[in-house]
């Protein structure tokens, strides 16, 4: 029997990371999010900041930007290096035991390798804007603009490496609006679905 | 306090109608699906068969087909007549009390009029094909082709009358893959979310 794993994809500012942590705590299994970045840093030569940024986001929004940004004449990019290391680490973690993995295309990487409950967390722009201002503070750029840019670059990254559409409802077993349902109810729902199978 | 209502949008063959019936039974509230067609038939001059077909599907797939099909020189169509009657009936039902409403753009019609839990049920093509063959029998046209046509015309109808994208994850509070989770688990999940609020 393959290990049962929850993969969480999320819109920036939707609280997907918090939901991942809380559902893992509730189920008594580990949650890999920042820990994943640390592991990738250990096994590569890149800084944690660079990995956090380029292990989920393209340099520019749009497919062309993601495909050609930062490539040398051989078509090689640091982003590809990070992708290889994080793919290997995610596969190793999934072998080790049940867990929650936040982001980083884990749903795609594990699609035939683990018994996954694939999750998408979203929320409307205004609620996400309030959340990121509360969590990360004000910036020069308006929160709505930051969110749109982050979502676009995350979607471009996902599409480039998986050839699938990020946030397309058919790709996920369950999609929840955390802004309407609330963080606690999302956690309850995912824990119940995880335990039911 | 507005009445609490579950609206269920669903891919053809995903079991969304069955889920609606069962969750309503579990919650002890009415479910309007075929009953809606009967009410529309009572208040209009159209047959139940015509309403079932043209109250959720365009005549052809694609926006152009839906916009111009069957219109007279004044731009009027029977589909618009059915839309007006079913909109009125859905608003009346929502006023009456808590309920489940399957399909017919109820999520859009009630967006500011009721306290809705908006749901989307989907499943992969193969599982849906098996389901419709079991439920409706074999036809001359392959089940996969029937499904794609039905989904396209339903999406075109939704987009034409609501100007929103049918099946777009952001439009729903909860989206569930009934093929992976199973009908019973979908029912449990929706009942729990309904009761939680």
ipTM reported for the complex, 2 dp: 0.88
Chain-chain contact of A173 with B188 (C-beta, under 8 angstroms): no
Q: Please indicate whether, in this complex, the C-beta atoms of B174 and A175 are within 8 angstroms of each other.
A: yes
CATH class of B4-196: alpha beta
- Does the CB of A193 have a partner CB in chain B at under 8 Å? yes
Task: Report phi then psi at A9, rounded to 5.
Answer: -95, 150
| C-alpha to C-alpha distance for A171 and A27, rounded to whole angstroms | 24
The one-digit pLDDT tens for each residue of chain A (197 residues) are 578 999 999 999 999 999 999 999 999 999 998 888 888 888 888 888 887 877 777 776 655 555 556 666 666 777 888 888 889 999 999 999 999 999 888 999 998 888 999 999 999 999 999 988 888 887 778 888 888 888 888 888 888 888 888 888 999 999 999 999 999 999 999 999 999 87
CB contact under 8 A, B177 and A176: no
Contact status of B121 with chain A (Cβ, < 8 Å): no
* Beta carbons of A188 and B185 less than 8 Å apart: no
Residues A142-184: tens digit of each pLDDT: 888 888 888 888 888 888 888 888 888 999 999 999 999 999 9
Q: What are the residues whose beta carbons fall under 8 Å from the beta carbon of A50, sequence distance 6 or more? A: A78, A82
Residue B76, burial from CB neighbour count under 10 angstroms (0-12, 13-18, 19+) = exposed
Nearest to A181 among B124, B176, B193 (CB): B193
**pTM metric for this prediction:** 0.90
Q: Show me where the domains of chain A are located.
A: 4-196
Question: In terms of CA atoms, which chain B residue is nearest residue A195?
Answer: B185
- Ordered mean pLDDT values, 10 residues apiece, chain B (197 residues): 87 94 96 86 83 75 58 74 87 93 91 91 93 83 86 85 86 96 96 91
Residue B116 touches chain A, beta carbons under 8 Å: no
Nearest residue, CB atoms, A193 vs list B173, B189, B196: B189
Across the interface, do B177 and A177 touch by the CB < 8 Å criterion? no
pLDDT, residue A66, reads 57
String of DSSP letters for A53-116: HHTT--SSSSHHHHHHTT--TTS--HHHHHHHHHHHHHHHHHHH--EEEESTTHHHHTTTTSEE
Write out pLDDT tens, residues A92-102.
999 999 999 99
């Amino acid at each position: 029997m393959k290990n049962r794993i929850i993969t969480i994809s999320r819109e920036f500012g939707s609280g997907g990371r918090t939901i991942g942590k809380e559902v893992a705590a509730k189920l008594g299994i580990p949650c890999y999010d920042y820990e994943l970045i640390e592991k990738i840093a250990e096994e590569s030569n890149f800084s944690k900041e660079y990995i956090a940024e380029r292990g989920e986001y393209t340099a520019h929004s749009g497919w062309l930007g993601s495909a050609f940004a930062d490539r040398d004449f051989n078509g090689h990019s640091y982003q590809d290096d990070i992708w290889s290391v994080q793919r290997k680490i995610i596969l190793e973690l999934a072998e080790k035991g049940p867990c929650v993995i936040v982001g980083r295309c884990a749903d795609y990487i594990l699609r035939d390798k683990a018994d996954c409950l694939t999750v998408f967390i979203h929320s409307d722009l205004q609620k996400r804007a309030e959340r990121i201002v509360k969590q990360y503070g004000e910036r020069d750029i308006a929160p709505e603009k930051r969110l749109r840019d982050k979502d676009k670059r995350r979607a471009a990254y996902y599409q480039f490496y998986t050839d699938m559409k990020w946030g397309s409802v058919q790709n996920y077993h369950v999609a929840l609006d955390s802004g309407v349902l609330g963080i606690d109810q999302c956690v309850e729902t995912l824990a119940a679905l995880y335990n039911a199978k």
